């Protein structure tokens, strides 16, 4: 196929050259009805390009096949058999993939370090999760993706599981041994879904970790807005092989997705694919070289330890690492990542990626350059000098790995939709959670609907919230109370 084409962008340009007089949505009619103050803030071109996909860019019957052409170009660019665009983010894409593999009360092997969107998929579908434990670095209090051996053991115990789902890379940039995990799944005759939300760039440079399709995955979900050049909410999911029916996958996406997809999002996805095919290698040559320089400069600062492969990869840890996720342990400064991140934003207008109880991170992409790198280093240098003002920081109680692993008592769906009550957080231990409790970022739930809470996890959440942890999906934003199920006997 001609990868210099960008069908959605070209259709949008043609629409601008010969605009229609529309009596259809969107109601602003290419911005003519938009509030002038909104136009001033967003720009007229946003409204000018906000047109219907069907009946706008294409005709009523979509006879030109504009979106299908763009998706086929994307599939060829990355070596997939089929590609589907999503304008609802990978939160929708991963649910579509899950529902294409397993149905109500069927089992799915899921890495317990899954994103909250995966848990939402379990709740919506009534799928029975078989949790596969991550590989836990007890020294650094960090979870890496589960091993192939753990998935093999889970299939041995649950041969009726319909497939497996693993998150790789994690938001910390650590990667599973995907070829080995895919081999385990295929030996069982089951598909592998990879939540590769942080890996949109991986197909386009050999110095980056192996991407899911090349590793043998059956379905791969990626958020192009995270590490690519597309707009927020941009996602694609790719399919290869015959273990998942493409018609079923598309139907599941239709079930969950919007009937009003954004032409802006589709156009940005289309343009990003062309950019990567034509220039991705050179762009990531520069980005990876810059990342190496940034890592070395940060490591030279007092009190800052930059995590690399020597920390994150090896036996019992991750299989690979994306060097563009620059993870910095600042515990030697005597403060938390929460306080450091807030200070850098308020004093240096720097917005960091992850901030946890002991780390901060900077996500680099092909868009970064010497100017952004220098701004980051200037802020971090002053953070070192100002560290005394950020002490003492409230301590976060991080349980040992076996105490973080809660018992799954009920299906997530049954707990979420069943009778519930709010109880003070001090009385929550021993109760069954009826909500997700998700420190964010990275968005991995500490407790799920249907899990029995214990003292360690409750104290982790309570102390984390006091230290600055964000838990945005709790029914009580202050985390003074938790939502739990009403069990038999009134408890």
Per-residue DSSP letters for 360-404? Answer: EEEE--TT--HHHHHHHHHHHHHHHHHGGGG-SPPP-----HHHH
State pLDDT tens for residues 220-270.
999 999 999 999 999 999 999 999 999 999 999 999 988 899 999 999 999
29: left (phi over 0), alpha (psi -120 to 50) or beta: left
Give me the pLDDT at residue 491, please: 47
Q: Say yes or no to pLDDT of 404 above 80.
A: no
Per the omega criterion (within 30 degrees of 0), is the bond before 169 cis? yes
Residue 433 in 3-state DSSP?
strand
Burial bucket for residue 400 (CB in 10 Å: 0-12, 13-18, 19+): exposed
Contact 404, 427 (CB under 8 A): no
Q: Say yes or no to pLDDT of 442 above 80.
A: no
3 state SS for 105-174:
CCEEEEECCCCHHHHHHHHHHCCEEEEECCEEECCCCEEECCCHHHHHHHHHHCCCCCCEEEECCCCCCE
What's the rounded mean pLDDT across residues 331-346? 96
**Which tokens sit at 110?**
């899921």
**Which tokens sit at 474?**
């709790």
Residue 84 in 3-state DSSP?
strand
State pLDDT tens for residues 8-18.
999 999 999 99
Give me the pLDDT at residue 489, please: 57
What percentage of the chain carries pLDDT values higher than 70?
Answer: 99
What's the rounded mean pLDDT across residues 60-68? 92
Contact 363, 227 (CB under 8 A): yes
Q: What are phi and psi of 464, to 5 degrees?
A: -65, -45
State pLDDT tens for residues 293-321.
999 999 999 999 999 999 999 999 999 99
Q: Residue 459: how many CB atoms within 10 A of its CB? A: 17
Cα–Cα distance, 21 to 345 (Å, whole number): 45
Mean confidence (pLDDT) of the chain: 94
Q: Angle at Cα 118 formed by Cα 114 and Cα 122, nearest 5°?
A: 125
Cα–Cα distance, 413 to 418 (Å, whole number): 8
CA distances from 172 to 108, 229, 359, 446 (A): 24, 20, 10, 17
| DSSP strand pairing (107-111 vs 164-167) | parallel
Which pTM value belongs to this model?
A: 0.94
Cα–Cα distance, 163 to 108 (Å, whole number): 5
417: left (phi over 0), alpha (psi -120 to 50) or beta: alpha
**Which tokens sit at 241?**
């092989």
Q: Say yes or no to pLDDT of 272 above 50.
A: yes
* CA-closest candidate to residue 210, choices 172, 240, 180: 180
pLDDT-derived band at 441, boundaries 50, 70, 90: low
Radius of gyration of the chain (CA): 23
Q: Which residues contact 49 (CB under 8 A, 6 or more apart)?
A: 12, 16, 263, 264, 267
**Which tokens sit at 217?**
């995955």
């Amino acid at each position: 196929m001609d990868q210099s084409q960008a069908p959605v962008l070209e259709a949008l340009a043609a629409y601008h050259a010969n605009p229609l007089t529309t009596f259809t949505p969107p109601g602003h009619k290419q911005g003519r009805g938009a509030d002038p103050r909104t136009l001033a803030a967003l720009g007229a071109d946003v409204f000018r390009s906000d047109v219907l996909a069907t009946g706008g860019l294409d005709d009523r019957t979509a006879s030109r096949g504009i979106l299908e052409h763009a998706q086929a170009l994307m599939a060829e660019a990355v070596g997939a058999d089929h590609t589907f665009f999503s304008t609802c983010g990978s939160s929708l894409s991963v649910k579509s993939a899950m529902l294409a593999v397993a149905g109500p009360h069927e089992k799915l092997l899921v890495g317990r370090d899954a994103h909250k969107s995966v848990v939402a998929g379990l709740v919506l579908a009534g799928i029975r999760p078989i949790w596969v434990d991550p590989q836990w670095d007890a020294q650094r209090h960090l979870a890496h993706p589960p091993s192939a051996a753990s998935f093999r053991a889970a299939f041995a115990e649950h041969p009726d599981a319909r497939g497996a789902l693993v998150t790789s890379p994690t938001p910390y940039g650590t990667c599973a041994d995907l070829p080995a995990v895919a081999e385990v799944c295929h030996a069982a005759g089951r598909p592998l879904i990879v939540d590769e939300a942080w890996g949109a760039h991986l197909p386009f440079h050999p110095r980056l970790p192996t991407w899911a399709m090349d590793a043998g995955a059956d379905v791969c979900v990626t958020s192009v807005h995270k590490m690519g050049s597309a707009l927020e909410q941009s996602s694609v999911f790719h399919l290869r092989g015959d273990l998942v029916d493409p018609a079923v996958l598309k139907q599941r996406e239709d079930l969950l997705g919007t009937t009003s997809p954004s032409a802006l999002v589709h156009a940005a996805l289309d343009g990003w694919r062309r950019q990567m095919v034509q220039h991705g290698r050179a762009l990531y040559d520069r980005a990876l070289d810059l990342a190496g320089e940034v890592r070395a400069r940060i490591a030279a600062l007092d009190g800052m330890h930059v995590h690399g492969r020597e920390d994150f990869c090896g036996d019992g840890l991750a299989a690979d690492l994306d060097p563009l996720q620059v993870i910095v342990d600042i515990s030697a400064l005597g403060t938390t990542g929460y306080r450091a991140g807030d200070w850098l934003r308020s004093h240096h207008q720097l917005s960091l990626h992850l901030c946890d109880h002991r780390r901060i991170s900077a996500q680099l992409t092909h868009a970064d350059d010497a100017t952004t790198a220098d701004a980051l280093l200037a802020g971090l240098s002053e953070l070192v000098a100002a560290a005394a003002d950020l002490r003492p920081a409230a301590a976060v109680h991080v349980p040992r790995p076996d105490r973080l692993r809660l018992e799954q008592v009920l299906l997530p769906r049954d707990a979420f939709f069943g009778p519930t009550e709010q109880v003070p957080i001090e009385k929550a231990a021993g109760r069954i959670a009826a909500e997700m409790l998700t420190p964010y970022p990275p968005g991995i739930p500490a407790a799920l609907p249907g899990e029995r809470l214990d003292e360690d996890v409750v104290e982790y959440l309570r102390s984390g919230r006091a230290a600055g942890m964000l838990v945005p999906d709790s029914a009580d934003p202050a985390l003074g109370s938790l939502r739990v199920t009403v069990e038999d006997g009134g408890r």
